[in-house]
Amino acid sequence: MTPKEAKKSERFKMTFPAKIVGEPIMTKLSHDFGVSYAEHYLLFHNKKDGTFEEVGQEAGPAFRAKRVARGAAVGDFNNDGELDLLVSHLADSPALLRNTTAPPQHALRIKLVGTKSNRDGFGARITVTAAGVKQMQEVRANSSYLSASDPRAHFGLGAATKVESIEIHWPSGQVDTIRDQKSDEDLIVEEGKGVIRRLPFQHGNPRRR
């Protein structure tokens, strides 16, 4: 081991208190990263150039407090079109972070109903085109440690008020194409039939409808 490697290894010290055979061996790991056990949440903004910017400190007091967080689930709990967060904590109550972005941007949300495919459409891939921008999502519920997010596919549209096309590739192999839809709605789409119901977002609604 070189002097440089020896110096580096000193930053990670694993100690084993002496114990007789049959008793548990306790381990202790120390480091000098300057990172405490409790940390503040991280929130990343997509800069649309292949990079992300951490903006948590600008997102309100909830992001500045330090907690031992474990899992995070994403969903629009009050159906106002803005994604909210539910974060679980170790030995503490969960935190529901309501999105109060102002002014709100436009969005479209799609709930799938499978017929030949599974009922929830899990595994389907949805491509939405709005204002010349394509977005793709795979329908799923898992998101984080012991967490399940809203299975509805949420597409942020920015300033776009309509969607040119929606293409759905179902697990069964069925492909459905839907054109010319308004923004700010929940679309319920049945495999092979298309849109069977529309529900406008409840802007300003503080509670779940």
Q: pLDDT (tens digit, 9 = 90+) per residue, 91-132?
A: 888 999 998 877 778 999 999 999 999 999 999 999 999 999
CA-to-CA distance for 61 and 57, rounded, in angstroms?
8
Predicted confidence at residue 18, as pLDDT, reads 34
User: Does residue 13 carry a pLDDT above 80?
Assistant: no
Predicted confidence at residue 2, as pLDDT, reads 55
User: What mean pLDDT is predicted for residues 36-43?
Assistant: 84
Q: What confidence category does residue 34 fall into, taking pLDDT thresholds of 50, 70 and 90?
A: low
Predicted confidence at residue 17, as pLDDT, reads 38
User: Does residue 136 carry a pLDDT above 60?
Assistant: yes
* Top-ranked range on mean pLDDT: pick from 13-27, 59-73, 141-155, 173-187: 173-187
Answer with the residue of higher pLDDT: 57 or 106: 106
Upper half-sphere CA count for residue 110 (Cβ side, 13 Å): 31
Residue 29: both structure tokens together: 């790991």
The closest of 156, 44, 150, 144 to 107, measured between CA atoms, is 156
Q: What are the residues facing 14 on neighbouring strands?
A: 29
Predicted confidence at residue 20, as pLDDT, reads 39
User: Does residue 192 carry a pLDDT above 60?
Assistant: yes
The closest of 113, 136, 107 to 194, measured between CA atoms, is 113
Q: What confidence category does residue 35 fall into, taking pLDDT thresholds of 50, 70 and 90?
A: low
Average pLDDT score, the chain: 82
User: Does residue 77 carry a pLDDT above 80?
Assistant: yes
**3-class DSSP assignment, residue 178:** strand
* Global pTM exceeds 0.85: no
Average the pLDDT over each of 81-90, 137-146, 200-209 and give the range with the smallest value: 200-209
Residue 180: both structure tokens together: 């010319």
CA-to-CA distance for 83 and 140, rounded, in angstroms?
16
List C-alpha distances in Å: 79 to 3, 34, 144.
60, 40, 22
Cα angle 185, 151, 133; round to 5: 55
Radius of gyration of the chain (CA): 23
User: What mean pLDDT is predicted for residues 178-195?
Assistant: 96
Phi, psi at 93, each rounded to 5°: -70, 150
User: Does residue 193 carry a pLDDT above 90?
Assistant: yes
